[in-house]
Structures are given as C-alpha cells and as structure tokens.
Structure 1
Amino acid sequence: MTTQAPRLIRTTRLLDDVEARIRSEFSAPPPPEAALGTEELLELAHAYQPFAVLVTHTSPLKGADVQALPESVKLVATVSVGLDHLDVPALLARNIAVSNTPDVLTDCNADLAIMLILAASRRAAEYYTLMKAGWGRTLGMGEMLGHRVSGKRLGIVGMGRIGQAVAKRARGFDMSILYHNRRQLDPAEEAGATYFDKLEDMLPHCDILSLHMPGSPSAPPLINAQTLSLLPHGSVLVNAARGSLVDETALKAALKSGQLFAAGLDVFRNEPNPDPALLALPNLFMTPHVGSATVETRTAMGMLALDNVSAMAAGKPLPSGVSA
C-alpha cells in the first residue's frame, strides 16, 4: 500500500472526464498525441517506471513484450472487455495483475447489435447509397424490399451479459429468442428463450443469427460454409463480437448466392483493413468496430480501469480483475 499518487501510463488519450481524474488522483505523463504501439509503450514504461499501465488493442502485450515490462509494473489494466491483445497467463506468471472493463459496455454493444439487425434486414446500406447518389426516381412496389424484423426468430450465440441484453431488446420487436451457450441459463435469465445444446440444431430455426461470444484468431471460425448452409435460405447474420468467429470467404459466398439475405458486421478478421471484396458487397451493412463508441460508455470504461488502479495501489481486491 502507498500514500503517494499511483504512477501510471496510458497508451491513448482517454475521454475528458477520465483525463481529469488522472490529473487529480494519479501521477502520469501527458497523454500521447496518437495511440502508442507496443514498442512505444515499452519505451515509455522504462522511462517512467509506472505502477500501472492502461492499454487498448493498439498495444498488444504478448510473449517477449510481457517479459520486457519493467519490474515497477504491478497492473496492466486494459480499457476493453476483450483480452485478445494480452498474454494473460504470462502477465500473471510475472505477478502482474490484469483487469478489464466488463459490464459497462453491455448496453451500448447490445444497442449496436440491434442496429445491425435492423440495418441489415431493412437494406439500410443500399438505401443510403441510393440517397447519396441523389435518388432520382420512384421505386416500384416490389423494388429494393427488405425484411420485417418484428416477429422473427432470433438465434443468439453466447448468452452472456450482452447476449441477454440483445434478447431483452429483441423482445420489444416480438421476436422469438433461441440461444446456444456453454450452459443453459436458469429460467429467470432465460426469460422464455429456447436453449439449444448444439449450435447445429439451432441454426435451421434462425431467421436472424447474432454472435455474442469470445473469439480466438487461432481457433477455426465458428461460422463457416457448413454452418451457414444450415441457416434458412435468406436469413441474416450479425456479428458484433469478434471477427475471428466468421470465415469471410464463406460469408462472401453466402451473401452472393442469397443463402444470406444480408449481414451486419461491426468486426472483421483483418482490422482495420478488412477484405475490400467483402466491403464491396451491397447487402452488407458495416461499422468500424464501434460497439462501445459512446461518450457514456467510453467514459465508464476509463473510470473502471482507474478504479482497478486505485484498488491495486490500496491493496484492495480489483473491481474487475482477470484470472488465468
């Protein structure tokens, strides 16, 4: 425990309220003008000898990078829920604690998933393109028709906090909720949703499929040609979780053939430079990995990261610590 202001560095400028708290409660260098990469992070860490390091996905810490952190570092606090950019076992093995920012992202991520469902189903990308070109003619009765979302069957893969929040919102559209998860929820959490132990058994019943589970670049994609073929013809796929969950070659084929009516993606396999051939498809609605991109949520994420630093410095349990 220390009575001095905890020393920290961050790899990116955080929102104004978070930066104000850093100035008030912590000892830190000025925020970087641009997001730091891993090499720049390590250079700053050795120069400043911080107690804690606040990171995002722009500065991954894996393998040799973990070993290169100075001995002063006792906590790596990522301003994210995802941990793909951190070698958590290696950090813990060095007795460096790890924290993330769960829960505070739930509502905004769920809101975005519903936006993707609506936009993909109602051809928002195509309508926007038409309007930007000047519109110019009346559409025929059967031209550029989308699909109604109300009353459809929504399959959710991953019924954690965000999946349950999506289900809650979808019930406002009178959607039937199906879900596949590592375990069946208790009846109160299910709230009438139908559980499928096997993903393959659920897919034929899904008008819309929404992904809300962790992903790993080293694991085979969950959504591939075989799983896409099990969906009803003309269904909609939404991914606001991780790009690694989807085989994008199979996705392109399904969008071109009509097996998928449309898709809504916030995440991609190669970020921030997705496959141009995928982005060119007219029946894809896309956003640039912005599930948490609201003032309220990004502020809450930064504040939770700082809460973890304060707790660590005071010798208290971390509010959102990560175990191996």
Structure 2
Amino acid sequence: MSTPRVLIAANPQLGLIWTKEDAKKIIGPLAEIVELSSPSREAFFEDLKTKYAGITAIYRHNDSANAIGFFDKEFIDKLPESVKLIAHNGAGYDQIDVAAATARGILVSHTPKAVDSATATVAAFLTISALRQFWRAEVNVREGKWKAGLVPALDPDGKTVGIIGMGGIGSALAKRLIAFDMKVIYYNRNEISPKPDFPCTYVSSAEELLRQSDVVSLNLPLNDKTKNSFGKEQFAQMKKGSILVNTARGGVVDEEALLEALESGHLFSAGLDVFPDEPNVNPKLLSNDKITVLPHMGTETKDTQRKMELLVLDNIASFLEGKGLLTQVAEQKK
C-alpha cells in the first residue's frame, strides 16, 4: 500500500508559517509531506499531474489564495480522485465550496475553538475603542493636536452588549465585557443548553436584541443566508446612539447602509476588523472618523496561529489513522 501524501498549501511567495517540526512529528510518520511551490493557479493545476500526484489531504492556509486562489467549485473539481480531505486553517471557511467538496466525497475540517480567545480580544478592543473613541485620541496625540476636537464619549459600565452568534468567540467576548460591567444578551437560533457559566440573557429574536443593545457584536459565519443580511432594516431597529462591532466577515454587513446610519447620527460609532473585499477597504469607511478599523487582526498572534496549525495537523493525523475528523464543518455533519 502506497504512502499517503499531504500537501501543505500556503503562499510560496510569503513562505510557510506552519511549524515544520510539528508537521514532521504529527503527520510525518503517517504520510509524505509536500510543500506548495506553484506560483499560480494554472501552474498548480499542471503540477497536480506531477509533483502533487496522489495527494490524499491538503492543509489549506488562507495565504495560499494569493497564489492559487479560493477553493471554489472549479478548483475542487480539478483535484484528483486521490484527494479525500481539505484541512482548513481558520474557523471561517467561506473561501471553500463545501458543497462541491461534499459532491466529490472530500471531507472538510476547520479550526473553531482555537481562534476563540484571540478573536474575542479583538472584538473587546473594538468595543471599548468604539465606546471611548480611543483611536481618535491616538491619532490626535500623534499629530500633535492633543485633545483638540475631541468630545466626551461613552463608558462601557452598565451598557448592554448584544451578541449575535453566541458560539465560542461570542462566549469568550461576553466574559471579557462582563469585566467592564457590561450586561450581556444574545441571540442564536436556539437558546444554549445547558446555560453558559457566566451571566447572560437569551432573547428570542434578533429584532429584540437590536432594540435592547447599546453595542451589537456580529459573530456569525458568512454564507448565502447571512451575506448582506445586516442592512438598513437592522440598523433602523438598533438604538439611536448605539454601536456595531464586526469581527465575523465583512460580507455580512451592507457597508452603504452602515455608512448611512453613521452619517445620519443614528449610530454613535463602529468597530470593524473585517471587510468584503480584503485587503481592499471601502475608502468611505477609512475616511469616516466614527469607525475604528483593523486589518483582520483576529488571529494575528503567534500563540493562536500555533494552536490553529496544531489543530489542522491533528485533524489530518486523525483522518489518516481512520479515526475521522476532530472538527468537521457543520454542513457535512447534517
């Protein structure tokens, strides 16, 4: 029986971020490791016949998109029959056509839980910055303006944060904001059972959450149902003077509707870590001084990236050993 082959797909121009020692230790005894070296999508398709022939699993990092693009239907349909697993390094996997993979009999895993702490910290930062407008103050002092033009902002104490999507990230965010004396409410399709081990209240509709919240945090995946789902109607339901924080995916929010809500004064401010066309950002967002923006910093820590990488490798090892996947995507578990 031939030895399985595992392709590590990262951007060959940027260099691999994965830990080679960990890969050799975890999957080295089970498979031959092959590194992505194709400079383009077209070259990758050609290389499938030679240097990547017979690959069983693909370790996918988002950086690989710079060289070979998204794992869309065209990409997946051109993979050889030998490929049985795409192990994605990331909690969100909207760059992978899961339906196309499923149709080809290819399993897909991702890295929930490993990203929870780091992403929640970013959301907490954006919440506090949006309330206190700290980013404006930093720009002022760097430009030698001190407090010129700054106006009193808002305290987090006693404010209500509404979390849409109380999964791992939402729960970690709630615990952080409770420390700022904020009240937590949340909306999921179903109430969490057993109840979370921290003070929070379930509301039965997104509309009710929007009406009650001083800060709304989006923590939901991007898919056909959620794309542009947060728009004019949702902003109109939010409290006047409230705040939107988005660390989920940029495509969830209608940007023009957000700008309109900010410019009209209906929203006090916003905090954004994600955008629909990354790394490109709508210039209107950048020029609006009510928005704190970050360049998708959710998991940009050495500690979290190592946790993510280890989970990807553990998924591949578990698969190769015939034990199934540790964190298979939800669509394939239905």
TM-score, structure 2 as length reference: 0.87
Shift of 1:190: 6.7
2:324 paired residue among 293, 317, 320: 317
- Per mean C-alpha deviation after superposition, the further-off stretch among 202-211 and 216-225 is 216-225
Native 8 Å contact 2:126 2:272 kept in 1: yes
Shift of 1:253: 1.0
Cα distance in 2 for partners of 1:185, 1:212 equals 15
- Per mean C-alpha deviation after superposition, the further-off stretch among 203-212 and 216-225 is 216-225
Cα distance in 2 for partners of 1:30, 1:224 equals 42
Offset from partner CA, 1:230-259 (integer Å, 9 cap, x none): 212111110000111111001111111211
| 2:109 corresponds to | 99
Native 8 Å contact 1:235 1:262 kept in 2: yes
Q: 1:241 to 1:40 in 2, by over 3 A?
A: farther
Cα distance in 2 for partners of 1:164, 1:300 equals 19
| 1:129 corresponds to | 139
| 1:11 corresponds to | 10
| 2:172 corresponds to | 165
| 1:52 corresponds to | 57
| 2:85 corresponds to | 75
Name the aligned partner's letter for residue 315 of structure 1. Answer: G
Instruction: Answer yes or no: is 1:212 the counterpart of 2:219.
Output: yes
Q: 1:311 to 1:277 in 2, by over 3 A?
A: same
Cα distance in 1 for partners of 2:321, 2:227 equals 42
Q: 1:201 to 1:36 in 2, by over 3 A?
A: farther
Aligned residue pairs total: 317
| 2:45 corresponds to | 42
Instruction: Answer yes or no: is 1:303 the counterpart of 2:310.
Output: yes
Shift of 1:222: 2.5
* RMSD of equivalent CA atoms: 2.3
Native 8 Å contact 1:11 1:36 kept in 2: no
Native 8 Å contact 1:225 1:250 kept in 2: yes
Shift of 1:93: 2.1
Q: How does 1:276-295 map to 2 (within 5 A)?
A: 276-295=283-302
Native 8 Å contact 1:217 1:244 kept in 2: no
Native 8 Å contact 2:140 2:148 kept in 1: no
Instruction: Answer yes or no: is 1:88 the counterpart of 2:87.
Output: no
Cα distance in 1 for partners of 2:235, 2:118 equals 27
| 1:110 corresponds to | 120
2:202 paired residue among 195, 200, 215: 195
Native 8 Å contact 1:180 1:198 kept in 2: yes
Cα distance in 1 for partners of 2:44, 2:141 equals 44
Shift of 1:44: 3.9
Q: Structure 1: 5+ residue runs without aligned partners?
A: none
SS in 1 for 2:195: helix
| 1:180 corresponds to | 187
Cα distance in 2 for partners of 1:147, 1:268 equals 25
Shift of 1:102: 1.1
Q: 1:30 to 1:96 in 2, by over 3 A?
A: closer
Name the aligned partner's letter for residue 167 of structure 2. Answer: G
Q: How does 1:17-28 map to 2 (within 5 A)?
A: 18-24=19-25, 25=28, 27-28=32-33
Native 8 Å contact 1:52 1:76 kept in 2: yes
Name the aligned partner's letter for residue 222 of structure 2. Answer: G
Shift of 1:40: 4.7
Shift of 1:106: 0.6
Shift of 1:43: 3.9
Shift of 1:175: 0.9
TM-score, structure 1 as length reference: 0.90
Native 8 Å contact 1:14 1:302 kept in 2: no
Q: 1:31 to 1:71 in 2, by over 3 A?
A: closer
Name the aligned partner's letter for residue 132 of structure 1. Answer: R
Shift of 1:187: 5.4
Shift of 1:126: 1.1
Q: How does 1:221-300 map to 2 (within 5 A)?
A: 221-300=228-307
Cα distance in 1 for partners of 2:251, 2:130 equals 20
